[in-house]
Amino acid sequence: MALHARRLHPMFAAEITGADARHPTPGLRDDIEFLMDQYGVCVLPAQDIDADQQVAFARLFGTLEHPPGARGSRGARTAKYPPEIFPITNLTEDGEIQAEDNAARQYRLANLLWHTDSTFRQTGATYSMLHASVIPPSGGDTQFADTATAYDTLSDAMKARIEGLQATHSIWESRGKLGGYQPTDEERAARPPARHPLVKINPRTGRRSLLIASHVSDIVGWPEAEGRALIDALMDHATRPELIYTHTWRVGDLVIWDNRSTMHRATPFDDARHVRDLRRVTVREYETARL
């Protein structure tokens, strides 16, 4: 069956019908990659898949990441899933709603900040794929920002200013901003910072985008205040309302986004009363240098 794309936003994002993730084939991979190059975010509705099927589908696109070994990432239903699954959930291993002081909840709250998956790793990420099992009655949407159009609409002077710059990314930078998660010395050692170019080039399309958001702590070689001001200015530019698509989840949605051309964040919901339970897999990119 041929795939059909329905645009969800004037600049990016589309709903794709005709795909069945239960039957991964090279042809389906090629079709999805073609559409991802065009839209950056693809929503595949009504995908009746379990965790193993999600992993098998994602493996079409490359090697998959494993979740970081932090206390916060381990405290949320990980035992029931393959090792490539990132549980995006407010449930404990026992299926109870996480308490306010639960480490996994504190770790998860930073997902409310704009971020790009895995920029804190030495190896970046191409696609992330998030599947919805349980959604709350309101809230808990996911917003996406088009960082490729954000770069395109920068002034020539700003493009010249940021060309060749690198930024430092750390998971502990974002976790320290929201949620109050305190990593151990061992966790810090296991997840050191990474450096990545401020301007990302997608090798498939040649298109440039901004690689910014909440994992970024500084601009390499710049004074802290000056670097922070530049990051804030770029974030303001990239998160203008006209560059944002908000996805309201339905059970069975499989949303794929390209971390090379987007950033995203969750929106709040009443996580003390309602369940939000999703599964993510993430495709690795290429090796970059350690600090």
Structure tokens belonging to residue 122: 């030495």
Calculate what percentage of the chain has a pLDDT beyond 70.
94
List, in order, residues 6 or more apart from 47 with CB less than 8 Å away: 19, 20, 21, 22, 131, 252, 253, 254
Closest CA to 23 of 49, 2, 44: 49
- Rounded to the nearest 10°, the torsion over CA 56, 200, 72, 177 is -160
The model's pLDDT over 150-179, given as tens digits with 9 standing for 90+, comes to 999 999 999 999 999 999 999 999 998 987
217-251: pLDDT as tens digits: 999 999 999 999 999 999 999 999 999 999 999 99
Entry pTM: 0.95
Looking at domain 4-286, its CATH superfamily turns out to be Clavaminate synthase-like (3.60.130.10)
Mean per-residue pLDDT, 92-105: 93
